[in-house]
Amino acid sequence: MRARLILALAAATALALTACGSPAGAGGSSSDDAASMKMTIGYTAIGAAYDDLYVCEDQGVFKKYGLDAELTLLNSSSQLFAGLASNSVQVGAGVAKSTAAGVLGSDIDLRYVALPIPVYYLEMWGKDTITSEDAVKGMRIGLSSPGSLGDAAVDAFLADKGWSEDDITKVFLKSTPAEVTALEQGAVDAIVTQPPTGTKTRDQGFIKVMDFTKYQAAANAYTVKADYLKSNQKAVAAFVKAETECLSILHNDRDTAVASIVEHSGTDDQELAEYAYDFFEPLWAREPTVDPDLLAQAFAQAAEENGEAAPSDTSKYVDNSMVDDLQSSGFIDSLYTK
C-alpha cells in the first residue's frame, strides 16, 4: 500500500518540481556536456543533517567540480521516490527504506551511491511529564508523513521495545515545522525531528526524551536512477567527489559548518546551530560508503510493511565504485591530512 501511495505522489511531485524547471538531460543521455552536469538534488527535511549539501553550495564545492546543482526541499522522504521516478530530481537524499518501497512497487531501478549518515539522526522532544523512553507508551507522537525518516525511526524504537504500533498513536502532520506547532499547541505529546528543528522547543519548556542514533539504518542515503547514472556518469562522480569533500569540511571546519546551519536549517540561533553541529559531527561519515547490509535491511523492512517479498539479492542497487575510486586514489586521505 505504501509503495502504491508513493507512486501516486509521482505525478504531483513531477508537476510541482517541473514548475521550477528541470535540468536538461535529467532523464537520460545528453549530447551537451554542460547540460549533463546540471542536476537537482532533492532533500527531505529542514535541519542540520543536510549540512554537507549546504556547505557544498555555500563554499562553491559543487561548482569546483563542474556541477550546476540546485537544492530542492521536498516535503518528506515519502516524496523522494516520486521525484526520482519523474526525473524531477536527479539525486535524492533521504531514508533508503522509503525509496526501497518505491522500487518494490514499480519497475524503476535505483542506485545508492553514497551514505553520509548510517544511523537514525533524530531526537524526540516532548512534554516535561515524559520521564523516560518507556513513558512514551500510549502517547501521541507527531511525525511528518508515513514512510518518513521519523516514521522509520519510531518503527525501529517500537521493535527494540517489543511494542506494537498500537502502543503509541502516530500523528502525521506533513512537515517538521507543523510538528513543532502541534507540540506547542498540545495536539501531540512528543515529536520526532532532526536538530535543531525540534530542539528549539526547549525554550518553551519541552524536554529531550531520547535520540535514535543507536539504531543503524541507511538513513541519509544518496540515490540516483540507474539509467541516469549510466548516461551521466561524469555528473554523478562529480557529485560524490563534492559530497566527500564537503564531509571533510564538516569535520575540519566547525565555524564554516555552523554558519551553513544558521543559513539554511531554519534557525538563526547560534547556540542551537552549535548544538546541532555537535550532535551531527560524530555521525557524519568520512568515507560515505553504502553499507550493503543496511540497504538489505531497508528493502526487507519495506517489503514486510508492503506485504511483498524482499529481493533475494539487493547488492545490485549499491554502487560504491565512485567512493572506492576516491579512497584508492588517496583523495579521501588527502582531505584529512594536516
Indicate if 288 and 176 belong to the same structural domain. no
The answer to whether the beta carbons of residues 265 and 276 sit under 8 Å apart is yes
Domain that holds residue 174: 123-211
- Quote the pLDDT of residue 11: 41
Residue, of 14 and 246, whose pLDDT is higher: 246
Question: 330 or 24: which carries more pLDDT confidence?
Answer: 330
pLDDT of residue 20: 44
61 φ/ψ sector (left φ>0, alpha ψ -120 to 50, else beta): alpha
Q: For residue 155, which of 127, 128, 192, 187 has the smallest C-alpha distance?
A: 192
Backbone angles phi, psi at 193, to 5 degrees: -145, 170
Q: Give the confidence band of 63 by pLDDT, cuts at 50, 70, 90.
A: very high
Burial of 80-115, coded b for 16+ CB within 10 Å and e otherwise, reads bbbbbbbbbbbbbbbbbbbbbbbbbbbebebbbbbb
According to DSSP, the residues that pair with 93 across neighbouring strands are 43, 222
Instruction: Specify the pLDDT at position 148.
Output: 86
Chosen domain end from 211, 232, 261: 211
pLDDT at 33: 57
The 3-class secondary structure across 212-241, one letter per residue, is CCCCECCCCEEEEEHHHHHHCHHHHHHHHH
**Rounded CA separation 225/28 (Å):** 9
Q: Are residue 97 and residue 137 in the same domain, yes or no?
A: no
Q: Are residues 282 and 312 in the same domain?
A: yes
Q: What is the pLDDT of residues 38-51, one digit of tens each?
A: 999 999 888 899 99
* pLDDT higher than threshold 70 for residue 335: yes
User: Given this model, what pLDDT does residue 186 score?
Assistant: 96
Q: Name the nearest CA neighbour of 241 among 303, 309, 332, 107.
A: 332
Give the model's pLDDT for residue 308.
Answer: 86
The pLDDT score that the predictor gives to residue 174 is 85
192 and 327 together in one domain:
no
pLDDT given at position 35: 61
- Contact at 8 Å (CB) between 13 and 114? no
Which CATH number characterizes residue 312's domain? Answer: 3.40.190.10
pLDDT of 4: 44
Q: CA gyration radius for the chain?
A: 19
Number of domains in the chain: 2
How far apart, in whole angstroms, are the C-alpha atoms of residue 100 and residue 317?
A: 10
Q: Of 161, 186, 211, which marks where a domain is finished? A: 211
Query: pLDDT higher for 13 or 314?
Result: 314
Whether the per-residue pLDDT at 173 is higher than 60: the answer is yes
Mean of the per-residue pLDDT values of the chain: 89
In a shared domain, residues 170 and 246: no
78 and 224, same domain (yes or no): yes
Band (pLDDT 50/70/90 cuts) for residue 75 is confident
Nearest to 241 by CA among 174, 309, 323, 153: 323
Nearest Cα to Cα of residue 215 among 118, 94, 100, 149: 118
- Are 202 and 135 in the same domain? yes
Q: Say whether both 243 and 296 belong to one domain.
A: yes
Nearest-angstrom CA–CA distance, 91 and 225: 8
Same domain, 22 and 113: yes
pLDDT at residue 227 in the model: 96
Domain boundary among 211, 228, 249: 211
pLDDT confidence of residue 9? 45
Tell me: do 202 and 221 sit in the same domain: no
The residue among 234, 225, 335, 226 whose CA lies nearest residue 288 is 335
Same domain membership, residue 76 and residue 13 = yes
Tens digit of each residue's pLDDT (9 = 90 or more) over 154-169: 999 999 999 999 999 9
Residue 50 near residue 190, CB atoms below 8 Å = no
* pLDDT computed for residue 29 by the predictor: 41
Domain match, 12 and 65 both: yes
